[in-house]
Structure 1
Amino acid sequence: MQLIFSKRILRYWRPLPVILCFSLLGVSAVSVGAVVNGMDVPTFIASLNTKTVTVADLQQGKLKPVVLIDVRSPEEYAEDHIPQSLLVPLTDIEAGFGVKRIRAVAQEQAKSAQTQPTVVLYCTSGMRSVKAYQRLEKTGLNIVVLSGGIKAWRKVVPAQSASNTVSFNY
């Protein structure tokens, strides 16, 4: 009787080490992904469901009309920003009045373009843009995040030539 009882228990517990190994592997992969992308784990997980756009997509004019929103700090914006972008810091979006400003700008753009614009959020590399996206996704606006942020932009458009030699169709 004791032997039969032990075999039954063992049959149920045998897969446990395998399940634990796969779970640990999954958690490790998410943690490494977050570190590589310069994000905390919750933001990285949220970024997996975030709509993104590449610099090449903007360059090719795939998202006309576009409203570029820089969600970094005023100091970072003053140091460098994408031409024709508007500064709406993440702190303003989190406080609520940044959401109203973005909505107003998008509505104004929609009136002149006769179609709803795509609001492209960007920061340095993506973390703040994803947080802003989370706040804005329920507004009904067409929101996307610039993949790689201004770092990706500057790989294609160097700062000294941004205003005079490269034109984008946005």
Structure 2
Amino acid sequence: MMNKQARSGWWEGLPEGIRRQIDGYVLQDASMAAIRLVAEIGFVPDDIGVATATAIVSDRYAHYGDRVARAPDTPIDQESLVRRVDGIPGRIAAIEAVWDGDTVHDWFVRLLAIAEDPPVEHPLALIHWTMAVRHLGEDERVEGRHPAGVVAQGVGAELAARLAVPFHFASPDTPDDEAPRWWH
């Protein structure tokens, strides 16, 4: 993979139109489209694979910082979560937290309401690193755990208790997208 200086040089060598298109995707928080474009235009002539394309797009995200139009965080306060659950038809059998991941947020937790009849999972919130750190505050200690897991454990357990249903989080301390699910 290219180092930062080589990536910067590669970026500067691109035609202005391609740079504007990639930056347009970045500014719209469409990282996958930006990564795909970098890989498409860089693979054959420059041997740029997905890892390097991801690093180049990450550099552009860092360049723009707060100017990127990020999707708003899903609310994780109890009142909002209860209101979301109230909109689900049928009886809720459990609240579940499940690890997932992508190239933008790395590991994150999906908080779900599991309906009983029909047995369907309903998304309630996505809890990623930066959102979790904001929720916890800078002084909160997580003892080496992923902040998203800490927040999901607390918020999910509290919601389940309010609803008087079980809470399931098979791997609260370590990201694991293959951990056993509640309803499988």
Q: Shorter-chain TM-score category? A: under 0.3
Task: Tell me which protein shows more strand as a share of its residues.
Answer: 2
Higher relative contact order (CA 8 A, sep 6+): 1
Q: TM-score, normalised by structure 1?
A: 0.27
Give 1 or 2 for the bigger CA radius of gyration: 1
Task: Tell me which protein shows more helix as a share of its residues.
Answer: 1
